[in-house]
């Protein structure tokens, strides 16, 4: 059953929280995705079978949550994620997909005392700057600055509406320009056939971050969705691996 709450900023966030033991697993979805996606639903069922606490939610402007997508930006969705995590007592294992990988890194940097472990799936840190802005044509950049938004084609349905605020706000939340310490077990997952987030991003993240227990797994042939049976099982196995590392102390 879907529930909702209001963030300190006044945004209504829809969520599903399953009771169980901890650390709780928190799924953070991608750009314009929602908590009804294949990975989130699969992991919820997996967690229930293991009696592990699990949280999935929609950022504002996404899925069942309130607000308009075009009004949001990375900082807003990061605040939404922090507010959602506040529903849980104790440490959490973050599972961040695409943009959710970026947001999970922001959370890990801001509140490492809450994070017991991290699994990312095609993490897209700093994508507003390193992909959207860097790949924009001069005409697109001018339109962003003067008109406030542009439309970019998407492989997943309607075009993405990219706003000037999204780009400018993203610059205040970059994670690959400053030291990034991840003092807990980390598993980065990346498909070799991902057309949205290149393998070089995963390699850059692995090289940039610092931590005692970080691993990158490349999956031959996997695309950005990373949601076939093999990939889903790998995500679950990666979470279980993080849990086992925590038990070993």
Q: Is the pLDDT of residue 155 over 80?
A: no
Does residue 199 sit within a domain? Answer: yes
3-state SS, residue 186 = strand
Does residue 33 sit within a domain? Answer: yes
Is 194 marked active-site? Answer: yes
Does residue 138 sit within a domain? Answer: no
Name, in order, each residue with C-beta under 8 angstroms of 221's C-beta and a sequence gap of 6 or more. 191, 192, 193
Does residue 137 sit within a domain? Answer: no
Per-residue pLDDT at 153: 79
User: What is the arithmetic mean of pLDDT over 157-166?
Assistant: 89
Cα–Cα distance measured from residue 105 to residue 122, given in angstroms and rounded to the nearest whole number: 13
User: What is the arithmetic mean of pLDDT over 143-159?
Assistant: 86
Looking at 76, 104, 224, 238, which residue is catalytic? Answer: 224
Q: pLDDT category, 1, cuts 50, 70, 90?
A: confident
pLDDT tens digits, one per residue of 72-127: 999 999 999 999 999 999 999 999 999 999 999 999 999 999 999 999 999 999 99
pLDDT tens digits, one per residue of 195-248: 999 999 999 999 999 999 999 999 999 999 999 999 999 999 999 999 999 988
What's the domain range around 35?
3-127+174-248
Looking at 58, 126, 169, 194, which residue is catalytic? Answer: 194
Cα–Cα distance measured from residue 194 to residue 122, given in angstroms and rounded to the nearest whole number: 8
Is 98 marked active-site? Answer: yes
Cα–Cα distance measured from residue 129 to residue 114, given in angstroms and rounded to the nearest whole number: 28
Does residue 38 sit within a domain? Answer: yes
Looking at 98, 104, 196, 238, which residue is catalytic? Answer: 98
For residue 119, which phi and psi values (nearest 5 degrees)?
A: -125, 125
% of the chain beyond a pLDDT of 70: 99
Per-residue pLDDT at 44: 98
Task: Quote the mean pLDDT of the chain.
Answer: 96
The one-character DSSP state at 71 is G
Per-residue pLDDT at 14: 98
Q: Tell me the CATH number at 241.
A: 3.40.50.1820
Per-residue pLDDT at 160: 83
pLDDT tens digits, one per residue of 20-79: 998 999 999 999 999 999 999 999 999 999 999 999 999 999 999 999 999 999 999 999
Does residue 55 sit within a domain? Answer: yes
Does residue 134 sit within a domain? Answer: no
Residues 94/160, Cβ–Cβ less than 8 Å: no
Q: pLDDT category, 133, cuts 50, 70, 90?
A: very high
Q: Is the pLDDT of residue 157 over 80?
A: no
Is 198 marked active-site? Answer: no
**How many structural domains are present in the chain?**
1
Q: Which of 190, 141, 189 is nearest to 162 (CA)?
A: 141
Does residue 216 sit within a domain? Answer: yes
């Amino acid at each position: 059953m879907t529930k909702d709450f209001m963030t300190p900023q006044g945004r209504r966030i829809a969520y599903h929280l399953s009771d169980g033991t901890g650390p709780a697993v928190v799924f953070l979805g991608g750009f314009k995705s929602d908590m009804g996606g294949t990975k989130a639903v699969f992991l919820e069922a997996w967690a229930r079978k293991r009696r592990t606490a699990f949280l999935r939610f929609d950022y504002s402007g996404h899925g069942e949550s309130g607000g308009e997508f075009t009004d949001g930006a990375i900082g807003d969705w990061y605040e939404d994620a922090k507010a959602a995590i506040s529903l849980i007592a104790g440490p959490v294992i973050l599972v961040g997909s695409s943009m959710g990988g970026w947001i999970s890194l922001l959370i890990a940097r801001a509140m490492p005392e809450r994070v017991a472990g991290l699994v990312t799936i095609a993490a897209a840190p700093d994508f507003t700057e390193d992909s959207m802005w860097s790949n924009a044509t001069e005409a697109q950049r001018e339109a962003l600055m003067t008109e406030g938004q542009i439309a970019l084609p998407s492989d997943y349905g309607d075009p993405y509406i990219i706003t000037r605020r999204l780009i400018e706000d993203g610059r205040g939340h970059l994670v690959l320009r400053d030291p990034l310490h991840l003092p807990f077990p980390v598993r980065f997952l990346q498909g070799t056939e991902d057309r949205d987030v290149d393998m070089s991003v995963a390699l850059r993240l692995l090289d940039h971050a610092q931590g005692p227990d970080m691993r990158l797994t490349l999956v031959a042939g996997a695309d950005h969705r990373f949601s076939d049976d093999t990939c889903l099982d790998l995500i679950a196995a990666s979470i279980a691996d993080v849990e086992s590392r925590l038990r070993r102390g």
